[in-house]
Structure 1
Amino acid sequence: MFIHTQRSLFDIPNDVCYLNAAYMTPLTKKQTEIGGSGMAKSARPWNYSEQDFFTDVEGVRGLAAQILTVSSHDIAIVPSASYGTATAGLNMPVKQGQVILMVEDQFPSNVYEWTKLAEEAGAELAFVKTPDNHDWTTAIVEAIQEYGEKIAFAALANVHWASGAKLDLGIISPALKKIGAGLVLDLTQSVGAMPINLAEIDPDFAVCASYKWMMGPYGLGVLYVAPRHQHGKPIEQNWINRQGSENFANLVNYQDQYQEGARRFDFGERSNFILMPVYKEGLRQLLEWGISNISFTLGEINRRIETIALNNGLRSIDSDYRSPHMMGIELGGDAERYAAKLRAENIFVSIRGSMLRVAPHLWVNDHDMERFEKVMTSL
């Protein structure tokens, strides 16, 4: 179902055309109000109960689990994508001579951890080169066949952060399982904008920062942990992820046992009384719209943007190989010139390499599209 513009829910001036959700999604007006209420309440901490340390956290956990199509027990609360990959790095076995498979120009937070891990284990990093047609799925499957059982695991996304090209995990995951290799995912550029079923894909770990397509604040995210890893090693030893932590009077009776499921991997001070309610509202809004509806709507908006690009002699990634919600338009050496002109007109996009990365969301309206077309035609 197509969702008509939701601009009234956001505080976006009429003269701003924001096509950069892949950079950061603005909070809704309601989220801003909720954040303000959290600030006000934090000025009077005597009003917080012990239960307040858990209620919104479990709300976020449950809503995120719905979006990812898994159990809430499989979700840990993390502060960043890098925290999630570091958690995976502590729990993914790698031996000397094995290979960690990635794609070229992958986002750094899903590279640095594996660089360190490979150095420590005497393993090798193998980067799949960017295919000319951006058909990453075929290229990755061919790399899996090439390296075979040498692969310890693949560290991937399902949407390339720079180009919007998609990776079909429904094909890639079985290919990895066939050779006994694992899978770690960074889903920051996809969750909330396109449907995903992690129960079917069955990765070992999958992290998602909140501040892009999950419509949350900066500084929070979620980590999916497959049940087979839920007795693993967390990064930190904090009090709130231990059994019985709901009873503050009993905290001096130290516990060896953790909370159920993936909660052992939660980061300390997860109960952020300002950010967590804001995050919960963003997830609630996504589910109210419906992820499939969001994906369909953004796909229609991007088709309109693609037509504008084609009419002006520009080329985007073929629709067969890109995600519905974001896409890269090839500009070659003219990327910065286009970006400067668009910025001068209050039209906001991102430059990633030689590409103009366009990432609209439901606040986009016809006026935005007319302004974007006018500027692109004038260049």
Structure 2
Amino acid sequence: MKCQKSKFLLNKKYAYLNCAYMAPLLKKAEKAGRKGIAKKRQPNLISPDDFFHDLDTIKLLYSQLINAEKERITMIPSVSYGMAQVVHNLDLLKDENIVVCGDQFPSNVYPWMTACKNADAELKIIEVPDTTENRGKQWNEKILEAIDQKTKVIALGHTHWADGTLFDLMAIRKRCDEVDALLIIDGTQSIGALPFDVQEIKPDALVVAAYKWLLGPYSIGIAYYGEKFDQAEPIEQNWINRRDSEDFTGLVNYKDDYQPGADRFGVGEKSNFILNPILIESLKQVIRWQPAEIQTYCSELMAPAIEEIQSMGYYIEKDEDRSAHLFGILIPKEKQAAIATALKVNKVSVSMRGSFMRVSPHVYNDERDVNKLLRAFRSVC
């Protein structure tokens, strides 16, 4: 794949290696949003079908991306909302536990903290091993060892949001099956850039915010819910999630049953006439590129820089134990201020997460961006 910078309106003076923070909008996606705004100027042009058409398109596209049934997909406003649906239907007992990994993003921790507090259950936080020797491998082993017969839920990402460590979801799924535990995945930092197959991993829920690797807008997300939630009760009671809501003339004929599949969990006002068209264009482009090709591009782009930075004495996880689109560089405390200054001088955008500098390239990055990053490190060394 060639560099795709021309599809974006990024400032070429800056090296934006920070997609894990927030993705830039595609030109096509921005255009679609502007059309949505223009349409909202004349609401007489918005028909009842418009409340459903874009939603169906998003579900169809996303189902292709993750290899899932379209009916198991719905729209959410945030990861915390998607996780709240699971917690709401979790019959957690006092002697049970929930397993999460250490330093996980808060939206996939606070719901489980609250659930455990309310049930007086145990929250097992599996901290990262205090070593740089086979760090990722050992972390996965610790997670697997923590899952026992009393584990109700294991909740984590595919790749760690701060340092890119890959979690062995296939092995974790197998262990969950052995103890009848739910596997709940926050895919915000992976879906769209890292291959994910629902038919292989079989998550019970997969929750994703769209504004990162799906290249979508803020305040919109997508959730997949497996068969264990087919009869679950949603946290929100709104009109559009009820059966036959497409018939506007019959909305006062109140129904007890919900729309089929995961749409019972969809957020109210999910028919967003501005954000949904943006997401549609973004999903189409991600599918054209394919996550596997994005991984290859990022790996090949960053390989020379990673080798040089490692030669300077900085720790970066081994290739096989981390993602290519998101990885962490461990920055000693005594160098953090100098590195931050050097990045600013060289116009490089990355994120500090704990002691790690999180570097998250995409297909809009090129060698010039990588060279800016290297100049910043060379100036400190």
- 1:150 is displaced (CA, Å) by 1.5
Partner residue, 1:206: 206
Partner residue, 1:48: 46
Partner residue, 1:122: 120
Question: Which sections of structure 2, spanning at least 5 residues, go unmatched?
Answer: none
Identical positions, percent? 36
2:182 paired with 1:179: no
- 1:14 is displaced (CA, Å) by 1.5
Alignment of 1:1-379 (within 5 A): 3-131=1-129, 132-133=131-132, 135-136=135-136, 138-146=138-146, 148-333=148-333, 334-379=335-380
The CA RMSD measured in Å over matched residues stands at 1.4
- 1:235 is displaced (CA, Å) by 1.3
- Say which is worse superposed, 365-374 or 120-129, in terms of deviation: 365-374
Q: Is the contact made by 1:35 and 1:275 (CA closer than 8 Å) also made in structure 2?
A: yes
Q: Is the contact made by 2:99 and 2:146 (CA closer than 8 Å) also made in structure 1?
A: no
Question: Quick one: which amino acid aligns to residue 375 of structure 1?
Answer: A
Q: Which consecutive segments of 4 or more residues in structure 1 shift more than 6 A? A: none
Query: SS at 2:149's partner residue?
Result: helix
- TM-score of the superposed pair, with normalisation by structure 2: 0.96
1:102-157 CA deviation, whole Å, 9 max, x = no partner?
Answer: 11111100010011100111101111120224644654444444552021111111
Q: Is the contact made by 1:302 and 1:326 (CA closer than 8 Å) also made in structure 2?
A: no
Q: Is the contact made by 1:7 and 1:362 (CA closer than 8 Å) also made in structure 2?
A: yes
Q: 1:16 to 1:162 in 2, by over 3 A?
A: same
Q: 1:53 to 1:146 in 2, by over 3 A?
A: closer
Q: Is the contact made by 1:98 and 1:151 (CA closer than 8 Å) also made in structure 2?
A: yes
Q: 1:195 to 1:143 in 2, by over 3 A?
A: closer
Q: Is the contact made by 1:335 and 1:355 (CA closer than 8 Å) also made in structure 2?
A: no
Q: 1:279 to 1:365 in 2, by over 3 A?
A: same
Q: Is the contact made by 1:11 and 1:29 (CA closer than 8 Å) also made in structure 2?
A: yes
Q: Is the contact made by 1:128 and 1:140 (CA closer than 8 Å) also made in structure 2?
A: no
How many correspondences in the alignment?
377
Q: 1:306 to 1:238 in 2, by over 3 A?
A: same
- 1:226 is displaced (CA, Å) by 0.1
| Distance of 2:142 and 2:367 partners within structure 1 | 42
Query: SS at 1:54's partner residue?
Result: helix
- TM-score of the superposed pair, with normalisation by structure 1: 0.96
Q: Is the contact made by 1:41 and 1:47 (CA closer than 8 Å) also made in structure 2?
A: yes
| Distance of 2:226 and 2:141 partners within structure 1 | 23
| Distance of 1:168 and 1:114 partners within structure 2 | 21
Query: SS at 2:218's partner residue?
Result: coil
Q: 1:9 to 1:346 in 2, by over 3 A?
A: same
